[in-house]
C-alpha cells in the first residue's frame, strides 16, 4: 500500500475533469490523480523535473490500482473521511475538493449549507443530506481543533482564515520551501489577511497561496543576487 511518495515530476496532463501527474521514484513512474488547484500551480510554475512530495490515497480494485495525491496529510485524511460516506466514490471526493477548500467544506457541513455541497457535479440532494448528516459531528470536532490550534499560532479571530493558514503552511512545505522561510513570511500573510478582512474582501486559499509564493520566490531571487 502506497501512502506517501517523493519523486521527480515527469509530466502533467488533464483528461476531461481529471488532473494527473507522472512522478519518477527510484526508476518507477507513478501516475497519480491530483487536485485541480495543485495541477494548475505546478503547470503554471513549469516545475517539470523538480522533486515534490505527495500524500497518497491508494485504492485497489480487482483489475487496477488508483493513486490520488495530495499536497498535505490533512487533505488526504479529509479525502478519506469523504470516502467513508456510503455512495460517495473517489471522483465525487476529488470533485468536492477541486471546487472548495477544506475550510469551505467544513463550514458548509457545520452550517448545513446544502446548496454549496450539492453544487458539485454528481452530488444530488439525497447524497448532500447524507454527507452532512454523517460527517457533521466529525468535521465539527476537526473545526474546533483547528480553531484552538491556529488562534494560539496565528492570533486571527477568524476560524476560516485560521484553517486556510494552517493548510497554507503544509502546502508550502510540500512544495519544498524551507520551513524557516515559511515561518518568516507567515506574519506578512496574516497582516495582509487582516487588512482584507477589515475591508470585507473575500479571501481564498488560492489567493493566500499565490501571495505567499510570490513573497518566497522574491526573497529567494534577492538572495541569489
Q: What is the pTM of this model?
A: 0.63
Answer whether 108's CB lies under 8 Å from 119's CB: no
Does residue 151 surpass a pLDDT of 60? Answer: no
pLDDT, one tens digit per residue, over 10-22 is 999 999 889 999 9
**In the predicted model, what is the mean pLDDT of residues 153-163?**
55
Looking at per-residue confidence, does 155 or 131 come out higher? 131
Distance between CA 61 and CA 225 in Å, rounded? 52
**DSSP tag of 178:** -
The domain segmentation of the chain, as residue ranges, is 4-70, 77-150, 151-224
Name the CATH superfamily housing domain 4-70. Answer: Nucleic acid-binding proteins (2.40.50.140)
Question: What's residue 133's pLDDT?
Answer: 85
Decide which of 1.20.1050.10, 3.40.50.1000, 1.10.760.10, 1.10.150.20 is the CATH code for 77-150.
1.10.150.20
Task: Name the residue with cell 502546502.
Answer: 171
Question: What's residue 159's pLDDT?
Answer: 57
Integer angstrom CA distances of residue 8 from 21, 39, 68, 71, 117: 10, 15, 16, 15, 35
From the number of C-beta atoms within 10 Å of its C-beta (0-12, 13-18, 19+), residue 224 rates as exposed
Question: What's residue 185's pLDDT?
Answer: 82
Question: What's residue 187's pLDDT?
Answer: 78
Distance between CA 87 and CA 127 in Å, rounded? 8
**In the predicted model, what is the mean pLDDT of residues 87-93?**
89
Intrachain domains 4-70 and 77-150 with the same fold: no
Nearest to 97 by CA among 49, 55, 52, 154: 55
**In the predicted model, what is the mean pLDDT of residues 105-129?**
85
Q: At 150, is the pLDDT very low, low, confident or very high (cuts 50, 70, 90)?
A: very low
How many CB atoms sit inside 10 A of residue 90's CB? 15
Pick from 54-58, 69-73, 150-154: least confident: 150-154
Amino acid at each position: 500500500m502506497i501512502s506517501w511518495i517523493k519523486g521527480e515530476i515527469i509530466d502533467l496532463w488533464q483528461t476531461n475533469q481529471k488532473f494527473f501527474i507522472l512522478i519518477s521514484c527510484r526508476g518507477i513512474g507513478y501516475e497519480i490523480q491530483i487536485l485541480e488547484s495543485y495541477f494548475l500551480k505546478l503547470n503554471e510554475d513549469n516545475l517539470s523535473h523538480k522533486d515534490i512530495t505527495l500524500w497518497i490515497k491508494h485504492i485497489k480494485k480487482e483489475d487496477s490500482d488508483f493513486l490520488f495525491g495530495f499536497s498535505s496529510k490533512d487533505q488526504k485524511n479529509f479525502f478519506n473521511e469523504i470516502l467513508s460516506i456510503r455512495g460517495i466514490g473517489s471522483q465525487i471526493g476529488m470533485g468536492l475538493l477541486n471546487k472548495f477548500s477544506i475550510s469551505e467544506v467544513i463550514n458548509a457541513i457545520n452550517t448545513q449549507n446544502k446548496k454549496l455541497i450539492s453544487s458539485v457535479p454528481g452530488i444530488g440532494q439525497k447524497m448532500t443530506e447524507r454527507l452532512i448528516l454523517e460527517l457533521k459531528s466529525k468535521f465539527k470536532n476537526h473545526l474546533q481543533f483547528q480553531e484552538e490550534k491556529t488562534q494560539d499560532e496565528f492570533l486571527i479571530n477568524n476560524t476560516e482564515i485560521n484553517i486556510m493558514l494552517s493548510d497554507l503552511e503544509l502546502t508550502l512545505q510540500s512544495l519544498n520551501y524551507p520551513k524557516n522561510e515559511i515561518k518568516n513570511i507567515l506574519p506578512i500573510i496574516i497582516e495582509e489577511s487582516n487588512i482584507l478582512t477589515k475591508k470585507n474582501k473575500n479571501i481564498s486559499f488560492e489567493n493566500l497561496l499565490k501571495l505567499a509564493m510570490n513573497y518566497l520566490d522574491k526573497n529567494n531571487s534577492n538572495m541569489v543576487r
